[in-house]
């Protein structure tokens, strides 16, 4: 991976909470004389604490998993009749690579694409339009 962060959001919070719980368990087990359990819990707490603070996990890197939310957005295109366009990937036989068609939701009033985060809603006919086009 090009970027050194691959742990984010809820995954990072979960790892922080696991590190805290394992730290408490490690201290209790070490005080009660259960050294193997205490050392294993301490090692786990260090590992999860490292992941939570640095936002990097070697296992995620090896498995090519990224939970930071930096992945590409997926959008849906609707044709004039209001039917959803197929979202399958086309394969390009000449290039030998698989390309993915881009899909957008279009405003029923002005025809411009509606991008993620843009205000939209149904008009009086029930068609999806920009908030400004209503």
Domain ranges of the chain: 9-62, 72-134
Look at the block and give the residue holding tokens 């197929």. 86
pLDDT digits (tens, 9 = 90+) for 55-98: 999 998 888 888 887 755 545 565 655 544 444 444 444 444 45
| pLDDT for res 71 | 58
φ, ψ of residue 130 in degrees (nearest 5): -60, 150
The whole-model pTM stands at 0.50
Rg value, the chain, Cα = 24
If phi > 0 it is left, if psi is from -120 to 50 it is alpha, else beta; for residue 96 that is left
What average pLDDT is seen over the chain?
Answer: 78
φ, ψ of residue 124 in degrees (nearest 5): -65, -25
Give the model's confidence band at 32: pLDDT under 50 very low, under 70 low, under 90 confident, else very high.
very high
| pLDDT for res 116 | 74
**What are the structure tokens assigned to 96, written together?**
């030998």
Beta-carbon neighbour count of residue 30 at 10 Å?
A: 15
| pLDDT for res 90 | 44
105-106 vs 113-114, strand pairing mode: antiparallel
Among 24, 18, 20, 17, CA closest to 38: 24
- C-alpha to C-alpha distances, 115 to 75, 77, 82, 83, 103, nearest whole angstrom: 8, 11, 17, 18, 10
| pLDDT for res 3 | 58
Least confident piece of the model among 18-22, 96-100, 102-106: 96-100
| pLDDT for res 17 | 96
Mean pLDDT of 45-56: 94
Question: What is the Cα–Cα distance from 6 to 14, expressed in whole angstroms?
Answer: 14
């Amino acid at each position: 991976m090009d970027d050194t962060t691959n742990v984010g959001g809820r995954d990072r919070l979960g790892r922080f909470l696991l590190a805290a719980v394992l730290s408490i368990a490690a201290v209790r087990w070490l005080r009660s004389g259960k050294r193997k359990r205490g050392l294993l819990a301490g090692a786990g707490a260090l590992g999860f604490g490292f992941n939570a603070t640095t936002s990097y996990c070697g296992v995620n890197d090896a498995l090519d998993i990224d939970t930071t939310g930096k992945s590409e957005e997926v959008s849906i295109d609707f044709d004039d009749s209001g039917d959803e366009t197929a979202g399958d990937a086309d394969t390009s036989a000449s290039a030998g690579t698989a390309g993915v068609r881009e899909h957008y939701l279009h405003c029923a009033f002005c025809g411009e694409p509606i991008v993620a985060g843009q205000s939209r809603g149904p008009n009086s006919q029930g068609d999806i339009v920009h908030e400004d086009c209503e």
